[in-house]
Amino acid sequence: MILNLLLNLIKSSKFPYIFGLIILGSLCYFIGKNNGYDSCKLDWDKYLKENTELNQKLQQQYLDEKTTLLNENTKLAQEILNHEQKYQNSINDIKSEYSDRLHKSEERALYYQSMSTKVNSKGCTTASLASHTARLDKQLTEGINLVRELRELIKLRDSQLRQCGEQINLLVKE
């Protein structure tokens, strides 16, 4: 049946026109298909290139920010170590001064003791007063030392809290 139809078509006088239309239609189809494919491929390649460039730019920006953050974090860590070293040096100085003050306090206690062995005009000794004064002097020296140590500790903790705040701010910037 299809074969008869084709034979009748070939024998007809309209065959060259129909055949030309089929060839022309096929040619238009393939040309359009290739142009469309090329156009889509160009758009796709352009899209890939733009995304690759954007990706590289973002990666570089990320690496720059990461490097900056690491540098600032290292700087803050170094500052913390410096403050701790400064604190330790201050405590060592305070302990040395405390030792000197305690020694002076003991000298004053001996002086008070030597004065207490003398008899006053009424014939009473002042040994209990000297002993009490020596204890108060020692406690005062210990109190002064404690206040100085606490002051240095508060300075250290204050600087550490400020630096922790700076580190938090660095992380928030990210």
pLDDT by residue for the chain (174 residues), tens only, comes to 777 776 776 777 776 777 777 788 888 888 878 887 888 888 888 999 999 999 999 999 999 988 988 898 889 889 888 989 999 999 999 999 989 988 988 888 888 777 777 655 555 556 677 778 888 888 998 999 999 999 999 999 998 898 888 888 877 776
Query: Which residues are CB-neighbours of 147 under 8 A, at least 6 positions away?
Result: none
Q: If 0-12 CB within 10 Å is exposed, 13-18 middle and 19+ buried, where does residue 45 land?
A: exposed
Could you state, in order of their start, the residue ranges of all structural domains in the chain? 18-173
Overall pTM surpassing 0.75 (yes/no) = no
Instruction: Give phi and psi for 97, each to the nearest 5.
Output: -65, -35
Contact 83, 159 (CB under 8 A): yes
pLDDT in tens, 66-109: 898 889 888 988 988 898 999 999 999 999 998 998 898 888 88
Note the helical H segments in 117-126: none
What does the block give as tokens for 139? 């406690």
Q: If 0-12 CB within 10 Å is exposed, 13-18 middle and 19+ buried, where does residue 130 land?
A: buried
